[in-house]
C-alpha cells in the first residue's frame, strides 16, 4: 500500500511506499508476542525488531508528512499502540515513544528536520524533562546532563534531552518567570548510555539513564515546546504532552485486554484447590471478569470519544480548545486507572497461576503498575483537570 506524502511544507506530494501501521498491527503484534520473553530478558527491544518497527512505520506515525512521516490521526496511532500492547507492553511502549518523539520534528526548522529524517526509518527517542543544562555559546549550546527513563534510546539514531537554558551565567526565563527549557536533539554517538534499567515492570523498554558531557549542539537543533510554533497541521494542534499521555493510556488498555484474555484462556480448565468446579464456573469469576470488561470498555469509549472530538476540532476549527484538551487528559488518566483495576481483578482471580513466569498475567500486572508511575497519568493530572472543571485559574500550556 502507498500513502500520499507531501515532500514540502506547501503540501506538494510524492508517493511513498509506506505500509499503514494500523492495518499491519496484528502481524506486528504476532511477531512481538513470539519474542516477548526475549524482550523481557534483554531489558530492551532487540535491535533487529526495532528495525522492523521502523520499516513498518511505527516510529513515523506522528512525524510530519512534509518530512516523509505518516502524520496519522491520533485515534489511529492509539489503536496501533493498543494492539501491539496486547502482545507485549514493553514493545508497545517503545513504539509509542518513538512515534511521539518524532512529532517534535514539526517544531524544528525545515533544514534541520530534513537532516534528521535523511533516512525515512530514523528513530528518535529521549526525555522531555529538563534534566540537563544548555549553556549558550554563540550559535551553539554546550550541553551537560543526565536523564532518566530513556525508553528505546539505545535503538535510536537521534536523542532528545530537555535542558534549562543558561546565558551569561543566568537561567533564561519565560514571561511568567518559570525557567525556560528546550529539548536538544543530538546524534546517539554523542550520548553515553548507562546500565540502570533493573526494574519490576516494563522491563523490555530499555528505559535506561543516559548522559551528555560537553556536547556542542546548534541552537537551531532544539525545540521549545512552550514557545516555538509547530507546522500548521491538525496533528500538531494537539499539545505534545497530550500525545504522550495518549500513548501511555493506549499501552495500558492493550495490557488490560491481554490480561483479560489470558484469564479467559485458562479459566475453563483450572480448578481451584479443594473445588470440583472450574474457575470459569465460579460466580466470583463471572462477576469479576464482567466488571473488568466494564472498566476497560467504558474507559476506552470515553478515551476514543474525546480524541475523536478533539481531532474534529483540530481539522474543522484550527485549534483544540482547552475544554477538549482537559477532557483528553482526564480520559487518558481515567483509562490507565481503569485498566489497572481490570488487570488487578483478573490477576487475583488467577490465584497461584498468576505468579508464574509462564503466565502472561504476572507480566501484565507488573507492567501496568509501572506505567501508572508516569507523571503524564499521575494523580496530579486529576487535580489539574479538576481545577478546570471548577473554573479556577490554571496554567494550561502543557495540557
Cβ within 8 Å of residue 325, ≥6 positions away: 239, 242, 310, 396, 399
Q: Among 12, 49, 56, which residue's Cα sits nearest to residue 33? A: 49
Give the per-residue pLDDT at 275. 66
Distance CA 272, CA 277 (A): 8
pLDDT of 59 higher than 90 = yes
Give the per-residue pLDDT at 14. 45
Per-residue pLDDT tens digits for 210-228: 999 999 999 999 999 889 9
Give the per-residue pLDDT at 16. 55
Give the per-residue pLDDT at 259. 98
Give the per-residue pLDDT at 4. 37
Q: Residue 235: how many CA atoms within 13 Å on its side-chain side?
A: 27
CB 117 within 8 A of CB 68: yes
CB 248 within 8 A of CB 377: yes
> Is 5 in a helix, a strand, or coil?
strand
pLDDT of 50 higher than 80 = yes
Per-residue pLDDT tens digits for 61-97: 999 999 999 999 999 999 999 999 999 999 999 999 9
pLDDT of 165 higher than 50 = yes
What's the pTM? 0.93
Give the per-residue pLDDT at 399. 81
Helices (H), the chain: 21-34, 36-42, 47-55, 74-85, 89-102, 110-116, 240-267, 283-316, 322-349, 360-371, 380-389
For the chain, list the domains and their CATH numbers: 3-116 (1.10.540.10), 125-223 (2.40.110.10), 238-389 (1.20.140.10)
Distance CA 134, CA 142 (A): 5
Give the per-residue pLDDT at 10. 39
| Average pLDDT value for residue range 312-329 | 97
Q: ∠ CA 362-365-369 to the nearest 5 degrees?
A: 145
CB 218 within 8 A of CB 109: no
CB 104 within 8 A of CB 240: yes
pLDDT of 5 higher than 60 = no
| Average pLDDT value for residue range 160-172 | 97
Give the per-residue pLDDT at 272. 64
Q: Which residue has the cell 473445588?
A: 275
Q: Among 208, 233, 14, 251, which residue's Cα sits nearest to residue 105? A: 233
pLDDT of 345 higher than 70 = yes
* Higher pLDDT pick, 111 / 397: 111
Question: From residue 244, how far is each of 28, 116, 140 by CA, in Å?
Answer: 21, 21, 28
Per-residue pLDDT tens digits for 106-130: 999 999 999 999 998 999 999 999 9
Amino acid at each position: 500500500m502507498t500513502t500520499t506524502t507531501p515532500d514540502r511544507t506547501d503540501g506538494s506530494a510524492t508517493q511513498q511506499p509506506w505500509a499503514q501501521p494500523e492495518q499491519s498491527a496484528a502481524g506486528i503484534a504476532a511477531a512481538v508476542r513470539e519474542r516477548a520473553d526475549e524482550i523481557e530478558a534483554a531489558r530492551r527491544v532487540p535491535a533487529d525488531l526495532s528495525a522492523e518497527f521502523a520499516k513498518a512505520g511505527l516510529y513515523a506515525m506522528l512525524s510530519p508528512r512534509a518530512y516523509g512521516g505518516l502524520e496519522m490521526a491520533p485515534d489511529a496511532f492509539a489503536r496501533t499502540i493498543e494492539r501491539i500492547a496486547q502482545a507485549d507492553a514493553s514493545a508497545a511502549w517503545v513504539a509509542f515513544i518513538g512515534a511521539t518523539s518524532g512529532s517534535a520534528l514539526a517544531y524544528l526548522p525545515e533544514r534541520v528536520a530534513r537532516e534528521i529524517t535523511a533516512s525515512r526509518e530514523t528513530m528518535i527517542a529521549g526525555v522531555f524533562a529538563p534534566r540537563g543544562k544548555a549553556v549558550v555559546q554563540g550559535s551553539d549550546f554546550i550541553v551537560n546532563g543526565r536523564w532518566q527513563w530513556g525508553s528505546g534510546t539505545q535503538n535510536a539514531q537521534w536523542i532528545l534531552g530537555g535542558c534549562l537554558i543558561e546565558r551569561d551565567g543566568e537561567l533564561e526565563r519565560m514571561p511568567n518567570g518559570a525557567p525556560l527549557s528546550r529539548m536538544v536533539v543530538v546524534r546517539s554517538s554523542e550520548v553515553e548510555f548507562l546500565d540502570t534499567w533493573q526494574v519490576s515492570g516494563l522491563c523490555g523498554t530499555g528505559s535506561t539513564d543516559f548522559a551528555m558531557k560537553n556536547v556542542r549542539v546548534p541552537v537551531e537543533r532544539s525545540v521549545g515546546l512552550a514557545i516555538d510554533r509547530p507546522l500548521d497541521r491538525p496533528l500538531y494542534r494537539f499539545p505534545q504532552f497530550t500525545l504522550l499521555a495518549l500513548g501511555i493510556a493506549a499501552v495500558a488498555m492493550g495490557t488490560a485486554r491481554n490480561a483479560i484474555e489470558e484469564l479467559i484462556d485458562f479459566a475453563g480448565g483450572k480448578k481451584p484447590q479443594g473445588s470440583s468446579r472450574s474457575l470459569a464456573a465460579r460466580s466470583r469469576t463471572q462477576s469479576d471478569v464482567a466488571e473488568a470488561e466494564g472498566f476497560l470498555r467504558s474507559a476506552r469509549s470515553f478515551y476514543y470519544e474525546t480524541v475523536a472530538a478533539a481531532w474534529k476540532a483540530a481539522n474543522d476549527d484550527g485549534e483544540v480548545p482547552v475544554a477538549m484538551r482537559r477532557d483528553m487528559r482526564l480520559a487518558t488518566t481515567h483509562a490507565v486507572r481503569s485498566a489497572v483495576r481490570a488487570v488487578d481483578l483478573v490477576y487475583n482471580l488467577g490465584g497461584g497461576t498468576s505468579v508464574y513466569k509462564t503466565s502472561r498475567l504476572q507480566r501484565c500486572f507488573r507492567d501496568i503498575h509501572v506505567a501508572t508511575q508516569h507523571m503524564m497519568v499521575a494523580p496530579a493530572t486529576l487535580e489539574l483537570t479538576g481545577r478546570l472543571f471548577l473554573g479556577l485559574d490554571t496554567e494550561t500550556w502543557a495540557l
